[in-house]
């Protein structure tokens, strides 16, 4: 039977007598005295069955309430406030050791927390027996669970409202996959596979990474060696910025439990199989770029990126930001790119200047004389080169998927005087069309991956929606949607495919609309 103590003072007296009986040893929440189970607590309302039920407790005592559960690394936490987050529950356990799993039963204001060891759980229970735990200033009740571990099947059954009981075959669940799905929001600077590896490896062994673009967003799948490490990384990094005020990590668990990586290159990597090929048309990691990510110069980044991944220590923050070494020009890598698999019948220096100019000021373009499906493109600096590579590698231009990689060349050489190279090389150094010449230009804040939606600006007041739809349709493709901004000087225009949008930008950026109004075209992150 359970002794219910009607007043707080009596509970405290019993508590002190038991402490004396144990010669000062803090008692666990359940102590067997003769045939009576006495619940030691300073909160009478937390005693099962005491007072009126509040919807988070059943009117009948559950099995775990009726029995004295032996020590377990799984703890049952009850009377949680409404809308308590997993992070708040985990915070109760972190001072005592590694938290390896969690299951919240939000409809019942309860949670199950699994610690790394039984010793950590015992320490936690003993501590909270003497110091009442609070979540959002509300006292909560913690006891051992009859479950020895949180298992990973029957997710829907548990979350649908079922309450685990002793002897039940119903399994508890939480994060079960070692694979995380990562989305980068506000990616104003390039985030590469190696940057992700540097950040996430601080929590455990990163086995595999696959990066890709979906819904016009840079995404990645990253596999740890075990689910608990994945959970720790998610808790610490979800919502954090890689760089100050941008490149925000959005992390969730993947339904996959194992990644199948075929190639080791700048898009995918299996760290357990270094012998994998780079793959057809996929560049392997440039040695200069690899060196940049392995740089350990403490002066290269820290202090320049305030607020980057604040939960991590200085060393981790340096590693997280290692990708900025090349951006700052400290790695020795140049601003020259090699674009390959181009449509040699269609591509021109001007078209490459316009497309790559979305991500930086293109200085020179040289289509290779003996390999006209490849070109060298010199950007203003290494930062802009990496931006262009990050956003344009794998995009379709003139019907072909182009490949963009860092070049070993440090500059693009102009043809010697008097030598006719058939117009394959062009110098754009003094072009008035550079988007990023002015320091602090708003264009720096509007760098987005190629998308179906184009942002149009500098539109004359007498130009109509029909005029612009016809203009872009004639460039090739279908205009799916259109929207003027309030002042009619800007608009959003949506093509049916990203390739059509790329084509429209190449053909119509700087198009003369009359009266010296030159149309400005860029990619947009918005949709219509």
Residue 6 backbone class (left: φ over 0; alpha: ψ -120 to 50; beta: rest): alpha
- My answer on whether 404 and 457 are in the same domain is no
Question: Which residue, 98, 121, 144, sits at the end of a domain?
Answer: 144
Pairing relationship of beta strands 206-214 and 336-340 according to DSSP bridges: unpaired
Instruction: Please check whether residue 379 lies inside any domain of the structure.
Output: yes
DSSP codes, 363-380: EEEEE-TT-TT-EEEEES
- My answer on whether 404 and 469 are in the same domain is no
For residue 303, give every residue at least 6 positions away whose Cβ sits within 8 Å of its Cβ, in sequence order, or none: none
Instruction: Please check whether residue 231 lies inside any domain of the structure.
Output: yes
Helix ranges restricted to H, 173-222: 193-200
Residue with tokens 């019948």: 345
- My answer on whether 138 and 200 are in the same domain is no
- My answer on whether 415 and 344 are in the same domain is yes
Report the distance separating Cα 122 and Cα 75, nearest Å: 9
Residue with tokens 């002015």: 438
Report the distance separating Cα 182 and Cα 162, nearest Å: 31
Instruction: Please check whether residue 64 lies inside any domain of the structure.
Output: no
- Find the helix or strand (DSSP H, E) in which 162 lies: none
- Both tokens of 172, joined, read 């508890």
Report the distance separating Cα 128 and Cα 142, nearest Å: 7
Considering only CA atoms, which of 387, 401, 332, 330 is closest in space to residue 356? 387
Residue with tokens 């910025």: 241
Give the residue numbers spanning the domain of 124: 74-144
Instruction: Please check whether residue 25 lies inside any domain of the structure.
Output: no
- My answer on whether 459 and 407 are in the same domain is no
Task: Assess contact for 308 and 243: CB atoms under 8 A.
Answer: yes
- My answer on whether 421 and 461 are in the same domain is no
- Find the helix or strand (DSSP H, E) in which 453 lies: strand 453-457
One pLDDT digit (tens) per residue for the chain, 528 residues: 444 444 444 444 444 444 444 444 444 444 333 333 333 343 444 444 444 444 444 443 344 444 468 899 999 999 999 888 887 788 788 777 778 888 888 788 999 999 888 988 998 898 888 788 888 888 999 999 988 888 744 333 333 444 433 332 333 334 568 999 999 988 777 788 888 988 898 888 899 999 998 877 889 999 998 888 898 888 888 888 887 667 889 999 998 889 999 999 989 999 989 888 887 544 444 443 333 333 333 322 222 333 333 322 322 333 333 333 233 333 335 789 999 999 999 999 999 999 999 999 999 999 998 899 999 999 988 878 888 888 899 999 999 999 999 898 999 998 887 677 788 999 999 999 999 887 656 777 678 889 999 999 999 989 999 999 999 999 888 999 999 998 889 999 999 999 999 999 999 999 998 888 899 999 998 888
Report the distance separating Cα 223 and Cα 204, nearest Å: 10
Beta strands in 177-309 (DSSP E): 179-185, 206-214, 217-224, 241-243, 246-253, 268-270
- My answer on whether 414 and 356 are in the same domain is yes
Question: Which residue, 119, 144, 169, sits at the end of a domain?
Answer: 144
- My answer on whether 217 and 251 are in the same domain is yes
- My answer on whether 422 and 496 are in the same domain is no
**pLDDT tens digits along 406-465:** 898 999 998 887 677 788 999 999 999 999 887 656 777 678 889 999 999 999 989 999
Instruction: Please check whether residue 171 lies inside any domain of the structure.
Output: no
Name the domain count of the chain. 4
**pLDDT tens digits along 311-325:** 223 223 333 333 332
- Both tokens of 515, joined, read 């009266």
Which DSSP letter does residue 512 get? B
- Both tokens of 145, joined, read 């669970």
DSSP codes, 399-438: TEE-EEEE-S-SSPPPPPTT---TT-EEE-TT-TT-SS-S
pTM to 2 decimals?
0.43
Instruction: Please check whether residue 357 lies inside any domain of the structure.
Output: yes
Question: Which residue, 216, 241, 270, sits at the end of a domain?
Answer: 270
Give me the CATH number covering residue 381: 3.30.70.330
Considering only CA atoms, which of 386, 387, 335 is closest in space to residue 365? 335
- My answer on whether 230 and 264 are in the same domain is yes
Instruction: Please check whether residue 31 lies inside any domain of the structure.
Output: no
Rg of the chain over all Cα atoms, to the nearest angstrom: 31
- My answer on whether 454 and 399 are in the same domain is no
Instruction: Please check whether residue 167 lies inside any domain of the structure.
Output: no
- My answer on whether 392 and 461 are in the same domain is no
Report the distance separating Cα 434 and Cα 339, nearest Å: 20
């Amino acid at each position: 039977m359970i002794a219910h103590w009607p007043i707080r003072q009596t509970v405290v007296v019993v508590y002190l007598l038991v402490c004396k009986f144990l010669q000062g040893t803090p008692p666990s929440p359940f102590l067997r005295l003769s045939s009576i189970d006495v619940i030691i607590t300073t909160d009478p309302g937390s005693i099962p069955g005491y007072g009126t039920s509040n919807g988070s407790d059943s009117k009948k005592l559950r099995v775990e309430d009726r029995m004295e559960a032996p020590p377990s690394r799984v703890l049952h936490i009850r009377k949680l406030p409404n809308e308590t987050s997993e992070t708040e529950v985990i915070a109760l356990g972190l001072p005592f050791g590694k938290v390896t799993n969690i299951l919240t039963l939000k409809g019942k204001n309860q949670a199950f927390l699994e610690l790394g060891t039984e010793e950590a759980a015992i320490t936690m229970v003993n501590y909270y027996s003497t110091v009442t735990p609070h979540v959002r200033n509300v006292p909560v009740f913690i006891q051992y669970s009859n479950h020895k571990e949180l298992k990973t099947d029957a997710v829907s059954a548990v979350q649908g409202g079922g309450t685990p009981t002793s002897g039940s075959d119903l399994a508890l669940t939480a994060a079960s996959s070692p694979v995380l799905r990562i989305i980068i929001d506000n990616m104003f600077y390039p985030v590469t596979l190696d940057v992700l590896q540097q950040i996430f490896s601080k929590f455990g062994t990163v086995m595999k990474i696959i990066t890709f673009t979906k819904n016009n967003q840079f995404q990645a799948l990253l596999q740890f060696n075990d689910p608990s490490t994945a959970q720790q990384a998610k808790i610490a990094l979800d919502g954090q910025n890689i760089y100050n005020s941008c490149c925000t990590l959005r992390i969730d668990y993947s339904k996959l439990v194992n990644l199948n990586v075929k190639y080791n290159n700048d898009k995918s990597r299996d760290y357990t199989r270094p012998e994998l090929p780079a793959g057809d048309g996929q560049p392997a990691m440039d040695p200069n770029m690899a060196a940049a990510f392995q740089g350990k110069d403490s002066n290269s980044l820290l202090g320049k990126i305030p607020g980057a991944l604040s939960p991590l220590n200085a060393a981790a923050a340096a590693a997280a930001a290692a990708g900025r070494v090349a951006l700052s020009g400290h790695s020795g890598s140049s601003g020259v790119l090699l674009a390959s698999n181009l449509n040699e019948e269609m591509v021109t220096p001007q078209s490459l200047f316009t497309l790559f100019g979305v991500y930086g000021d293109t200085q020179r373009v040289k289509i290779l004389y003996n390999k006209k499906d490849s070109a060298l493109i010199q950007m203003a600096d290494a930062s802009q080169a990496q931006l262009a590579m990050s956003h344009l590698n794998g995009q379709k231009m003139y019907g072909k998927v182009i490949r963009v990689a860092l070049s070993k060349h440090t500059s693009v050489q102009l043809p010697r005087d008097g030598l006719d190279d058939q117009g394959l090389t062009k110098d754009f150094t003094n072009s008035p069309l550079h988007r990023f010449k002015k320091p602090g230009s708003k264009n720096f804040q509007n760098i987005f991956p190629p998308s179906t939606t184009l942002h149009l600006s500098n539109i004359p007041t007498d130009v109509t929606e029909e005029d612009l739809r016809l203009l872009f349709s004639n460039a090739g493709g279908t205009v799916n949607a259109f929207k003027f901004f309030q002042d009619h000087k800007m608009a959003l225009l949506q093509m049916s495919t990203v390739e059509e949008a790329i084509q429209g930008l190449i053909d119509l950026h700087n198009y003369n609309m009359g009266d010296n109004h030159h149309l400005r075209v860029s990619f947009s992150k918005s949709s219509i």
